[in-house]
Structure 1
Amino acid sequence: MRAVLTVIGQDKVGIVAGVSATLAELNFNIVDMSQTIMQQNFTMMLMCEMPQNKVDFEQVRARLNELGSRLGVQIRIQREEIFDAMHKI
């Protein structure tokens, strides 16, 4: 199962490191990543594979929200199928 993760905020040192380290601790595998910085604004989108065992998605979301607060960015995560359904016309 896959998830789409977005990170948005002011650019600063440690955002990519913090997000990738937290995903590694949660046993999420990053399969694709794109990031851009435009005039001090940082954006990143990740496609992740979730671990095979049962994942408490709300605990993952809470952990990422806490990380976002520490880093000063907004982190959102959605299951891939929900992300895809929301972006179909």
Structure 2
Amino acid sequence: MKAILTVVGQEKPGIVAHVSTFLADRNINILDISQTIMDDTFTMMMQVQLNENDDLQDLITQLRALGKKIGVDINLRNEELYRAMQQL
């Protein structure tokens, strides 16, 4: 399943490294990535390919914990759900 991962928080070194390492350790492929810094706020959006045996809720919980550890907000949504929300 494809999913959309978003990261928002205070700009600091290592955000991309932490998130991409988390994904690589779980064999989750990054299909597309976009990031920018607005003033001092870091924003990143990734399209990722989850493995068929990945538990979405478990990944969300782990990513939120990672975000708390590094001081950013991380969200993960099923791409189909994300796109449907954007159309409303």
Q: TM > 0.5 between the two?
A: yes
Cα distance in 1 for residues equivalent to 2:31 and 2:10: 24
Pairwise CA distance, 1:68: 0.1
The aligned residue for residue 33 of structure 1 is 33
Which residues of structure 1 form unaligned runs of 5+? none
Percent identity (aligned): 45
* TM-score, scaled to structure 2: 0.96
1:43 aligns with 2:48: no
The aligned residue for residue 57 of structure 1 is 56
- Amino acid corresponding to residue 15 of structure 1 in structure 2: I
Q: Deviations over 1:40-68 (max 9, x none)?
A: 1100000000113x111111011100100
Pairwise CA distance, 1:74: 0.2
CA RMSD of aligned residues (A): 0.8
Cα distance in 1 for residues equivalent to 2:58 and 2:76: 11
- Amino acid corresponding to residue 73 of structure 1 in structure 2: V
Cα distance in 2 for residues equivalent to 1:50 and 1:86: 20
Which residues of structure 2 form unaligned runs of 5+? none
* TM-score, scaled to structure 1: 0.95
Cα distance in 1 for residues equivalent to 2:40 and 2:2: 30
Pairwise CA distance, 1:36: 0.2
The aligned residue for residue 17 of structure 1 is 17
Pairwise CA distance, 1:27: 1.5
